[in-house]
Amino acid sequence: MENEKDIKKYWDDAYSGHKTPIKIAKDEIAVENNLDQYIKDYSMHAKKILDYGCGITYNLFLAHFSNPNLELGLGIDPSKNAIDFLRNTSEKSGFKNVSFEVGDFARMQKIKNEDFDFVICMNVLDCITKDIMIKTAGEIVRILKKGGVFLLKVNFYLTPEECKRYHLDPIGDEAYAQKGLFRIAFYKDEYWIKLFTDLGLKLVKSDEYARLENGPKDRIFIFKK
């Protein structure tokens, strides 16, 4: 539990520089890579989209511009700094159908069954401890509509040897800490696929996303219910 609070604080501090909201125009939200393209494609026909652990990402703004019939794009994140930034940016830009809330697993539990057509969760499930991650995975499947799409992105995979080079200390169960605080868990692709197929989803696509041109690639898994 202490760990969970510390992880949230770590991320809230990381977003503390994002204070000034931005007014976003349509031509500033372009599809620049395969990840944006997935967000656009799956947003186009979705009425309700959830970005869980949205941080300060613009996924829901891209969805807003991609789908004039979008009813709700909801971003949830425990970081007040991140949510204030996105909420104020959204207000300043005049977006009526996107909304942002400070929240976590407890907020997710309040969502009714099969409420969202499209759920996005990027670099979150590997950045929280396993007990909450497993519970969160179950909630994602519960709130996803039949026929709905779940886009999961997790960080690149590092072997235990590579983790040493990044000064990540093993703390068991594929998890690694930095300065004593849980930072990340490196599960292989098969782990993520099995987790969600066991929960009843079907894998429709695996892909990679290059955050940096020559850096290790994040992993994308697209599931359908």
Ligand X SMILES: C[S@@+](CC[C@H](N)C(=O)[O-])C[C@H]1O[C@@H](n2cnc3c(N)ncnc32)[C@H](O)[C@@H]1O
Q: How many CB atoms lie within 10 A of CB 155?
A: 17
Q: Which residue is nearest to ligand X (CB)?
A: 55
In whole angstroms, what is the distance from residue 100 CA to residue 131 CA?
A: 25
Q: Among residues 110 and 146, whose Cβ is nearest to ligand X?
A: 110
Per-residue binding string, ligand X, 132-151, x by CB under 6 A, is: x-------------------
Residue 3 sits in the site that holds ligand X (CB under 6 A): no
Contact stretch for ligand X (CB under 6 A) within 71-79, 85-93, 162-170, 203-211: 71-79
Cα dihedral 31, 148, 201, 30 in deg (nearest 10): 10
**Helical spans, DSSP H, in the chain:** 2-14, 34-43, 59-66, 80-93, 105-108, 130-143, 160-165, 189-198
* Strand order through the sheet with 175-178: 169-172, 175-178, 181-185
The correct pick among 73, 75, 78, 148 for binding ligand X (CB under 6 A) is 78
Residue 79 sits in the site that holds ligand X (CB under 6 A): yes
Q: What is the 3-state secondary structure (H, E, C) of 185-205?
A: ECCCHHHHHHHHHHCCCEEEE
Least separation in angstroms between CB 152 and ligand X? 11
Total of residues contacting ligand X (CB under 6 A): 20
Query: Between residue 30 and residue 59, which ones bind ligand X under the rule CB under 6 A?
Result: 53-55, 57
Residue 122 sits in the site that holds ligand X (CB under 6 A): yes
Is the Cβ–Cβ distance between 174 and 187 less than 8 Å? yes
Residue 154 sits in the site that holds ligand X (CB under 6 A): no
Query: Which chain residues interact with ligand X by CB under 6 A?
Result: 4, 7-8, 11, 53-55, 57, 77-79, 82, 104-105, 122-124, 127-128, 132
